[in-house]
Amino acid sequence: MDYSQKISERLWNMPDKGELESHREETFIDDIIQKSHIEKELLSHLDGIKTVFDGGAGCGRFSILLAKHGCEVTHFDISRPMIKKAMELAEKEGVLDKITFINGALENLADFKDHSFDMVISFDAPISYTYPNQEQVIGELIRICRKRIMISVSSRLGYLPYLANPIQKNQFILDPNCNDPFVKWCIDNRANAIEDFRFNKDAVIDLWNKGLMGGEAEIAEYENGGVPWCITYTFIPDELKNILERHGVKNIQLAGPGAYARTLPNELLVKIMKDEKQRSDFLDFCHYYDSNPFVCGMGKDNLLAQGEL
Ligand SMILES: C[S@@+](CC[C@H](N)C(=O)[O-])C[C@H]1O[C@@H](n2cnc3c(N)ncnc32)[C@H](O)[C@@H]1O
């Protein structure tokens, strides 16, 4: 088994993972924007879609949504705690019987027959955590898909600015007084992160050239029994488009959820989010702007791609 898979398994199997992930939209504005964008895309492409495979489905943000809209969903994830949380939420929403939950790794989809699902989705970077098998995984997701594929992966152009901005997540904190440990960490470490920051040209060029975040240090931490963040492969828009085309996907559209919001300071983002009308208008416009393929690389974390078979 590759280190990426072993590291991913250990990280996402942390017992509190499901609970923490299920509160993301209450804590971070960029997560609200991303979810709203993907939701709009999903709901406007449900014609003729009955069966859905959600790869790396987490705590069910999209599998539950689709089940509520009448789809039969296969919720597939490497982490048992995430699946447990998803089952709990699906039960609350009354769609437990509409979803089949499977614990497994995207690196092995051999059990699924060709063209088994009308739509295949995989959102918020599970594919990026399968390095060096990311292209094979995309190929497999396409193989089991009949009509429409929709995925979001880590974006290289989107991530490069992080290397010059260790406090980027602070821009998107919705409520600084909430209980989330990561919000607290971002706030408590803000001053130190700026104080300790040095622009590292070698690191930027390395990410630009190789697309990899993480590597030797994460493997060493894993071998010492630690729980590092996933080794993450980041894609360039053209690269992702070419991979999809090579595997027979047509009418490919790329988007970058979060690109528009990136230009706004925290104070204004919070103000917009707290007013229901402005929030709804803003999310509509973000979707419109972030769907322009020329900004897709600057989606905050994720590059969204969809197309037809
Ligand atoms: C950031 S979460 C995204 C969850 C969900 N797709 C969403 O958008 O809310 C990433 C998910 O991918 C899962 N994952 C990571 N690596 C995986 C792998 N190799 N195979 C299957 N699932 C994986 C994790 O367990 C986690 O639930």
Q: What is the DSSP code string of 216-244?
A: HHHHHHHHTT--PPPPEEPBPHHHHHHHH
CA of 15 to the centre of ligand 1 (A): 15
Closest residue (by CA) to atom 4 of ligand 1?
A: 58
Look at residue 40 in the predicted model and tell me its pLDDT.
98
Going from the N-terminus, what domains does the chain have, and what CATH number goes with each? 3-308 (3.40.50.150)
- Which of 129, 134, 182, 300 to probe ligand 1 with, by most ligand atoms within 8 A of CB? 129
Interacting residues of 275 by C-beta distance below 8 A, sequence separation 6+: none
- Give the position, in ligand 1's atom list, of the atom nearest the Cα of 106: 20
Q: What is the C-alpha separation between 86 and 61, in angstroms, rounded? A: 8
- Which of 5, 6, 21 to probe ligand 1 with, by most ligand atoms within 8 A of CB? 21
- Give the position, in ligand 1's atom list, of the atom nearest the Cα of 8: 16
Q: How many residues does the chain have?
A: 309
pTM of the model: 0.96
- The DSSP letter of residue 174 is S
- Which of 27, 77, 130 to probe ligand 1 with, by most ligand atoms within 8 A of CB? 77
Interacting residues of 159 by C-beta distance below 8 A, sequence separation 6+: 207, 213, 234, 301
Query: For residue 102, what is the enclosing H or E element?
Result: strand 99-103
Going by DSSP bridges, is the β-strand pair 72-77/99-103 parallel, antiparallel, or unpaired? parallel
- Which of 26, 39, 120, 124 to probe ligand 1 with, by most ligand atoms within 8 A of CB? 124
CA of 306 to the centre of ligand 1 (A): 18
Look at residue 268 in the predicted model and tell me its pLDDT.
98
CA of 17 to the centre of ligand 1 (A): 11
Look at residue 17 in the predicted model and tell me its pLDDT.
84
Look at residue 21 in the predicted model and tell me its pLDDT.
81
CA of 192 to the centre of ligand 1 (A): 31
CA of 59 to the centre of ligand 1 (A): 9
Interacting residues of 267 by C-beta distance below 8 A, sequence separation 6+: none
CA of 82 to the centre of ligand 1 (A): 8
- Which of 36, 78, 218 to probe ligand 1 with, by most ligand atoms within 8 A of CB? 78
**Which is nearest to 62 in space by CA: 23, 94, 90, 29?**
90
In order along its 309 residues, the chain shows pLDDT tens digits of 789 999 999 999 998 888 888 877 788 999 999 999 999 999 999 999 999 999 999 999 999 999 999 999 999 999 999 999 999 999 999 999 999 999 999 999 999 999 999 999 999 999 999 999 999 999 999 999 999 999 999 999 999 999 999 999 999 999 999 888 889 999 999 999 999 999 999 999 999 999 999 988 999 999 999 999 999 999 999 999 999 999 999 999 999 999 999 999 999 999 999 999 999 999 999 999 999 999 998 888 899 999 999
Look at residue 29 in the predicted model and tell me its pLDDT.
96
- Ligand 1 contacts (CB < 6 A) are 5, 8, 12, 56-58, 61-62, 77-79, 82, 105-107, 123-126, 129-130
Which phi and psi (to 5°) does residue 183 adopt? -60, -45
Look at residue 19 in the predicted model and tell me its pLDDT.
82
CA of 8 to the centre of ligand 1 (A): 9
What are the residues facing 305 on neighbouring strands? 151, 254
**Which is nearest to 149 in space by CA: 60, 240, 25?**
240
CA of 138 to the centre of ligand 1 (A): 14
Look at residue 190 in the predicted model and tell me its pLDDT.
96
Look at residue 181 in the predicted model and tell me its pLDDT.
87
Q: Which two tokens stand for residue 18?
A: 């499901």
Question: Starting at the edge strand that comes first in sequence, how are the strands of the sheet with 302-308 ordered?
Answer: 99-103, 72-77, 51-55, 117-122, 145-154, 302-308, 250-255
CA of 103 to the centre of ligand 1 (A): 11
Residues 54-72 as b/e (b if ≥16 CB within 10 A, e otherwise) read bbbbbbbbbbbbbbeeebb
Helices 237-246/134-143 angle, 10° precision:
50
